[in-house]
Structure 1
Amino acid sequence: MNPARYLDYNGEFYRSTDAIFQTTNRSFRYGDGIFETMRCENGKIHLLNYHVQRLKEGVSLLQFDRLNMFDESFILSRVEALLKKNDLLESECRIRLAVFRDGEGLYTPTTNMPAYLLEASRLDKKINIHNQAGLIIDIFPDHRKSVNTLSGLKSSNALLYVLAANYRKKHGLDDVVILNQEGFICESSSSNIFVIYQNNIYTPALTEGCVDGVMRRSIIDFAGETGIEIIEAQINPHILNEAEEIFLTNAVHGMQCVLGYKKKRYFNRLSKEFWSQYECWLDTRDTE
């Protein structure tokens, strides 16, 4: 990941090395905010409608004012301006939009107005399932994720994911599976998880505490429109030893196939066929 020279803070451009926050910033102090990570290619933001929908739901849940501020028009215009400022209009980039409560205060905020920070970074290579070797994963044993109405948010409070990623790195893994408070599969450290078992596709239900991923939403919409059944369920981690295939999804990497879990190995034939059908469906929607 190559950070760009400039970022957009509340409509003004700053150099990425500038000090733009004070210690009273609520995102820094309390994790009082949410964020969207988007993939942008040649100025086009993939799955933008899903990102906007989730963002509006998030700012509403966090009781921010100006719920309709971050619509498609606003995000497109600000992203285009930032890419142009950084000479990235023809590049493939990761876009990060952080939205947090402005103002000061202790736990009780002085205002519910939102502020935002928009960043862009160039992706090093074309992301494609066909040039991925497959991931080696294991279960993250140290902490579990609580299940509540905030579980689906992409929250600025990401301690669980930081610790999971640190465990992944320490043990030489590509990713780890996070379990919820009841010991059932929730998600991975950076993605939603799908399991193919006895030719059925399963994914943890939102009631299991997983992040409400935009790629997850898009895939479930695709399946619903094309007659493919995806079962949202409570999933016991023992299924990882019995499953035929496993794949992970997020907005930046699309689909990533899992090659191995402990001594178990997967071959991902159905996963790749499924992804090819999804890409064709997505291309059709983009041209409508």
Structure 2
Amino acid sequence: MQIINGTLSSETSIHANDNRGLNYGDAVFETLRVQQGKILFWEDHYFRLMSAMRIMRMEIPMEFTPEALSEQIQELVEAHELSSKTAVVKLLVYRKTGGLYLPKQLEVDYTISLRAIDSPFYTLEESAYEVELYKDHYLSPSLLSTLKTNNKALQVLGSIYADENDYQNCLVVNTDKQIVEALNGNLFLVKGDRIKTPPISSGCLNGIMRKQILKLLLELPDYLIEEGPVSPFELQKADEMFITNVVQGIRPVTKYRKKQYTNTVAKDLIGKLNARVRLS
């Protein structure tokens, strides 16, 4: 079951001929974590979606209020009997059919789907996790790169490269030869008491978990935060490297080339992140 344009439906597929998201990459989406019936960081997700739709020149329906969309998400969660469990929800918005590259209208259709996951809270995976730079294609440091659209060719090809070469992930490089992010999340580097993350201006995704981690760090006087360009040379000098996204939370990197990393800061942050989720 999924929500299609506000209505709970047993349909599990969409018509390719009518979907501009499939045909032209004319879609934006949000991936949300719903934990025991509570949508985590819903306000941040909602406003990021509204911002992306405006940038993509999509018409925002009057019924796209935070209350209405959250009620539909809850309805879908309850229909799947996951109110006491954890689910990952995808809210996909795509422009209505018509035209080729130039759409005949700016109105949108949307679907909400979900899948269950096992973990009732964020956990820290400590298994081996090796990364490498992905340099077959470079990211443009532009506003469009920061949006959560369904144009993910670079990430798809990077994932295939990682799989073929026995890496668990790859780091994306922009056209200025700066490290931007991982294939599936934002990047943080730790050196001593300094924690650095690439700025949004580098082209990295404007991640919700990135925002939450930065908020947490601002409350911790033991750490100094820096948002700045990251060069490949800094990866070798860092004590610790971790990746963040809403689904996994924090994922420590254990190895980049000959460099081995610790996960002390990640362990500290994952506990504080879970505490924030429980109290929110």
Partner of residue 234, structure 1: 229
Give yes or no for the alignment of 1:27 onto 2:21.
yes
Which piece of structure 1 moves more, 182-191 or 72-81?
72-81
Q: How much has 1:67 moved relative to structure 2?
A: 6.3
CA distance in 1 between partners of 2:48 and 2:94 (Å): 15
Give yes or no for the alignment of 1:202 onto 2:200.
no
Change (3 A) 1:10 1:140: same
Q: How much has 1:225 moved relative to structure 2?
A: 4.2
Partner of residue 55, structure 1: 49
TM superposition score normalised by structure 1: 0.90
Is the Cα–Cα contact under 8 Å of residues 59 and 67 in structure 1 kept in the other structure?
no
Amino acid at match of 1:14: S
Change (3 A) 1:22 1:67: same
Partner of residue 3, structure 2: 8
Paired residue secondary structure (2:177): coil
Give yes or no for the alignment of 1:170 onto 2:141.
no
Is the Cα–Cα contact under 8 Å of residues 55 and 70 in structure 1 kept in the other structure?
no
Q: How much has 1:72 moved relative to structure 2?
A: 2.4
Is the Cα–Cα contact under 8 Å of residues 178 and 186 in structure 1 kept in the other structure?
yes
Paired residue secondary structure (1:235): coil
Give yes or no for the alignment of 1:110 onto 2:99.
no
Change (3 A) 1:69 1:91: same
Amino acid at match of 1:72: P
CA RMSD of aligned residues (A): 1.9
Partner of residue 44, structure 1: 38
Amino acid at match of 1:230: I
Amino acid at match of 1:252: V
CA distance in 2 between partners of 1:65 and 1:28 (Å): 19
Q: How much has 1:281 moved relative to structure 2?
A: 4.2
Partner of residue 243, structure 2: 248
Partner of residue 85, structure 1: 79
Q: How much has 1:88 moved relative to structure 2?
A: 2.0
Amino acid at match of 1:150: L
Amino acid at match of 1:87: E
Is the Cα–Cα contact under 8 Å of residues 39 and 46 in structure 1 kept in the other structure?
yes
Paired residue secondary structure (1:60): helix
Change (3 A) 1:58 1:138: same
CA distance in 2 between partners of 1:247 and 1:67 (Å): 38
Amino acid at match of 1:260: K
CA distance in 1 between partners of 2:68 and 2:10 (Å): 21
Q: How much has 1:271 moved relative to structure 2?
A: 2.4
Is the Cα–Cα contact under 8 Å of residues 96 and 119 in structure 1 kept in the other structure?
yes
Amino acid at match of 2:189: V
CA distance in 1 between partners of 2:277 and 2:9 (Å): 35
Give the share of equivalent positions with the same residue, in percent.
27
Give yes or no for the alignment of 1:219 onto 2:219.
no
How many correspondences in the alignment? 279
CA distance in 1 between partners of 2:218 and 2:262 (Å): 25
CA distance in 2 between partners of 1:199 and 1:226 (Å): 11
Is the Cα–Cα contact under 8 Å of residues 96 and 105 in structure 2 kept in the other structure?
yes
Match for 2:143 among 145, 149, 169?
149
Amino acid at match of 2:165: H
CA distance in 2 between partners of 1:244 and 1:22 (Å): 47
Is the Cα–Cα contact under 8 Å of residues 124 and 250 in structure 2 kept in the other structure?
no
CA distance in 2 between partners of 1:224 and 1:52 (Å): 23
Is the Cα–Cα contact under 8 Å of residues 193 and 224 in structure 2 kept in the other structure?
no
Which piece of structure 1 moves more, 67-76 or 114-123?
67-76
Name structure 1 gaps, 5 residues minimum.
Answer: 1-5
Partner of residue 154, structure 2: 160
Task: Encode CA deviations 1:16-74: one digit per residue, 9 max, x unaligned.
Answer: 544x3241321111111111111111211111111011111101111112266433212
Paired residue secondary structure (2:154): helix
Is the Cα–Cα contact under 8 Å of residues 25 and 104 in structure 1 kept in the other structure?
no
CA distance in 2 between partners of 1:237 and 1:85 (Å): 47
Is the Cα–Cα contact under 8 Å of residues 34 and 99 in structure 1 kept in the other structure?
yes
